[in-house]
Amino acid sequence: MGLPAIPIVSDLGLDETAKALNTEQIATVVNRILDQETAARFKVYLNTCVHCGLCSDACHWFLSNDRDPRFSPVGKVKQTLWEIIRKKGHVSPEFMKDCSRIAHTECNVCRRCSMYCPFGIDIAYLLLVVRRICHELGMVPQFLQDTVNSHSVTMNQMWVKQDEWIDTLQWQEEEAKGEIKTSRIPLDKEGADVFYSVIAPEPKILAQLIGNIAQIMAVAKVDWTMPSLDGWDNSNMAMYSGDFEIMGRVERAHYESALKLKSRRIVMGECGHAFRGAAYDGPKWLGWREPPIPLIHAVDFYHELLTTGRIKIAKKFETPVTVQEPCNIVRGRGLGQKLREIISMVCEDFRLPEPGLEHNYCCGAGGGTINCGPPWKTSRVKGNRVKAEQLAATKAHIIITPCHNCHSGIEDIISGYKLGMHVKFFSEILMEVMEVPDELKC
Amino acid sequence: MYQFVSGPLVWIAFAVFVGGMVYQFVTMLRLAQKDKVIYPYMSLKYSLRSLFHWIIPFASRNMRARYEVTIVTFIFHICLVLLPIFLLAHVAMFAFAWGAKWCVMSAGAANYMTLAVILACVFFLLRRVMLPEVQFVTYVSDYVLLAIAFAPFVTGFAANRQWFDYETTIIIHMICGSLMLIVIPFTRLSHMLFFPFTRAYMGSEFGAVRNARDW
Ligand code: HEM
Ligand code: SF4
Ligand code: SF4
């Protein structure tokens, strides 16, 4: 078939590892993982798939790459697992490099394809098994591995040290106080109603978001806290590299930190992958059906604040907006309707994306792919042309994206396809339109 | 030859089919225990909700988008399952062997349904050859399995029309039918057994855990 060559990308995490591996080692690891860590789902999915290709139309990678079959969901499984199983794990290091490229960088484990396969085969799960094998072999894109290393050492994703964390919170508290007198960021307060957690990029590069939430909490008069010690970061890149041991440690630390403070519930900032880790992938691995303490996403929380009238809107936002519906909270937790409701409550001109809700396309950055770093950016942006087309069709100016991964991914798409749009978190819009009582104003 | 094929072979085929299905089913249940999440996640309500949306034609988005496949596959599967059960000749043989009887379909209906299965197989074949995304994931075994599903129907059709020597054709037909029954549990044709379970699990995970729809 005359398919275009896949551009060769050099990534030390893959190239150097491949040099050190041999087929025997690969076979040992593959067979150990398949014997010990996979069971009914894996076997039944592989035996049931009738190779019909009906899942193809689900995948933004396939659609954006001019229906190149190598990017279809089942095509990715064929190029990885089917071969691995056919050869009983005796595949070359070069082959494993391709597996990592496919599973880590060309699939967002967004699960859209499970909604298109007539059998409901969970291809994202199958590709996560490939990632798991890659991880056990040390075959992980370097940038992604770095975030996992950071989790392992500091329990957060971006090597934020504890003093930096506390400093940042204090700095943002000062900033917030400059706007709203009663703003506070209560550290380690026991028994608070809300334990608020964020992902490490907030203190590292987007600190104003923490200042924003301090103001929102002050206006809504929420009894809240943040922890001073590890457990404040709810992000989880290990979940995506295939390092499930570290994934489990990170999730446990997050919940323990909230339990230690006897908080009533965890509210997490606007991030989808972090929510996935904390709400279901983490608990799944730890053997919990439900988390030990209620966990809600920012969208749910804002919905509560707006519908109970704790936050009132002074004047609706007028610029036309649309929404990027993050897979991990919409397909992952059914928050699509609530998200649309809060946007309608604060925005005058809300343009719905099509396809929407559970059928929305992934931003292309999720599932850890954006964390694979600059080497893979070109293919990632190319692999999501349909997203650019979908957004452009709304003719909105601003795209509300209640997720950090989506935020960065959509920014890349906007610049890659010259859409001339802007991305904002919901909280940023809320800051502009919420009513601040006079006695709180500075 | 006819004696063996219409007697012991058919019984062996049924025994292997039933035994194989039971074996696959039990293995699945056992393995499902090892997969920690399955039993805790399963929910009857959401299983049924999902099954419902996937056994009714056009009830899911992809079925509407790929309407041609939907139409063909529903006709194919309905005929494929009903035809062998309600065909006069089959029922008569069971009646003869067991004394058990159930209703039969008219010869005309049987004729059209057989044709439908044959045409559907041609459609699946063309799809496989012509669509790059299907071609890419096709192994030789996919053609073989399609042929195995196809064979009992063409041979049955040929026998009924008496295109060739009737006795030879009917023997080949019975061998093909038996072969199909025998391989179902041990190949991808076992999707017949697994379909309700994969759907039920996905429906439960989407519905009960992730509060979302899966169609
Ligand atoms: C009775 C329960 C069964 C169910 C629920 C079922 C369901 C399905 C589904 C959902 C597909 C997906 C692809 C498509 O729609 O084309 C499929 C394909 C197919 N099934 Fe079944 N099936 C059943 C029984 C069988 C049996 C008994 C056979 C043959 C012995 C069979 C042969 C096939 C074939 C040949 C395909 C097409 C594969 C291709 O694209 O080439 N099915 N089935
Ligand atoms: S990116 Fe999403 S739709 Fe594509 S294969 Fe991965 S999980 Fe499926
Ligand atoms: S739609 Fe399902 S059965 Fe068909 S190829 Fe894709 S995963 Fe396999």
Residues of chain B found within 8 Å of residue A1, distances taken between Cβ atoms = 132, 135-136
Ligand closest to the CA atom of residue B199: 1
In a domain? residue B177: yes
pLDDT recorded at residue B89:
84
CATH code for residues A12-140: 1.10.1060
User: What is the C-alpha to C-alpha distance for residues A58 and A55, in angstroms, rounded to an integer?
Assistant: 6
Establish whether residue A271 lines the binding site of ligand 2, counting it when its CB lies within 6 angstroms of any ligand atom: no
Per residue in A318-361, pLDDT tens?
A: 999 999 999 999 998 999 999 999 999 999 999 999 998 999 99
H and E: helices and strands count for chain B:
12, 0
Nearest residue in B to A80, CA atom: B137
How much is the mean pLDDT over chain A?
93
pLDDT recorded at residue B93:
84
Q: With contact defined as beta carbons under 8 Å apart, do A105 and A365 qualify?
A: no
CATH code for residues A321-433: 3.40.50
Q: Do B137 and A54 touch (CB under 8 A)?
A: no
**Nearest in space to A193 (alpha carbons), one of A63, A304, A64, A357:** A304
| Gap from A438 CA to chain B (nearest CA, Å) | 40
* Chain mean position to CA A29: 28
Domain A12-140 matches domain A321-433 at the CATH topology level: no
Report whether pLDDT(B90) > 90: no
Nearest residue in B to A330, CA atom: B212
Q: With contact defined as beta carbons under 8 Å apart, do B54 and A121 qualify?
A: no
Ligand closest to the CA atom of residue A76: 2
* pLDDT band of B105, cuts 50, 70, 90: confident
Mutate to test the interface with B, among A119, A297, A339, A357 (most CBs of B within 10 A): A119
| Gap from A125 CA to chain B (nearest CA, Å) | 12
pLDDT recorded at residue B208:
84
Its domain, for residue B171, covers 2-208
Q: Do A47 and B190 touch (CB under 8 A)?
A: yes
User: What is the C-alpha to C-alpha distance for residues A52 and A42, in angstroms, rounded to an integer?
Assistant: 18
Mutate to test the interface with A, among B210, B213, B214 (most CBs of A within 10 A): B210
Q: Where are the domains of chain A?
A: 12-140, 151-307, 321-433
Q: Count how many residues are written for chain B.
A: 215
| Gap from A142 CA to chain B (nearest CA, Å) | 30
**Can you name the residues that pair with A265 across neighbouring β-strands?**
A194
Q: Count how many residues are written for chain A.
A: 442
Cβ count near B156 (within 10 Å): 26
User: What is the C-alpha to C-alpha distance for residues A252 and A231, in angstroms, rounded to an integer?
Assistant: 8
pLDDT recorded at residue B50:
93
Report whether pLDDT(B100) > 80: no
Report chain B's terminal Cα–Cα distance, integer Å.
50
pLDDT recorded at residue A193:
94
**Nearest in space to B40 (alpha carbons), one of A4, A283, A278:** A283
Q: In what order do the strands lie in the sheet with A295-297?
A: A224-225, A194-197, A265-268, A295-297
Which amino acid would we find at residue A99?
C
pLDDT recorded at residue B186:
95
Residue of B66, B178, B192 to test ligand 1 pocket, by largest number of atoms within 8 Å of CB = B192
Residue A416: HSE in the Cβ half-sphere, 13 Å Cα cutoff:
21
* pLDDT band of B6, cuts 50, 70, 90: confident
Residue A36 structure tokens: 């010990």
Q: With contact defined as beta carbons under 8 Å apart, do B164 and B154 qualify?
A: no
Mean pLDDT of B132-151: 96
Establish whether residue A209 lines the binding site of ligand 2, counting it when its CB lies within 6 angstroms of any ligand atom: no
Report chain A's terminal Cα–Cα distance, integer Å.
68
DSSP letters of A80-105? IIIHHHHTTT---HHHHHHHHIIIII
CATH architecture of A151-307: 3-Layer(aba) Sandwich (3.40)
pLDDT recorded at residue B192:
95
CATH code for the domain of B184: 1.20.950
Establish whether residue A61 lines the binding site of ligand 2, counting it when its CB lies within 6 angstroms of any ligand atom: yes
Give the ipTM of the model, two decimals please: 0.94
pLDDT recorded at residue B104:
85
* CB-closest option in A39, A47, A116 to B35: A39
* CB-closest option in B60, B210, B215 to A334: B210
Q: With contact defined as beta carbons under 8 Å apart, do A273 and A405 qualify?
A: yes
* CB-closest option in A1, A53, A335 to B137: A53
The list of chain A residues with pLDDT below 70 reads 1
Per residue in A106-152, pLDDT tens?
A: 999 999 999 999 999 999 999 999 999 999 999 999 999 999 999 99
DSSP letters of A101-143? IIIIIS------GGGTSTT---HHHHHHHHHHHHHHTT---HH
pLDDT recorded at residue A356:
87
* CB-closest option in A1, A39, A74 to B132: A1
Residue B188 structure tokens: 């991808």
In a domain? residue B213: no
Q: Do B210 and A75 touch (CB under 8 A)?
A: no
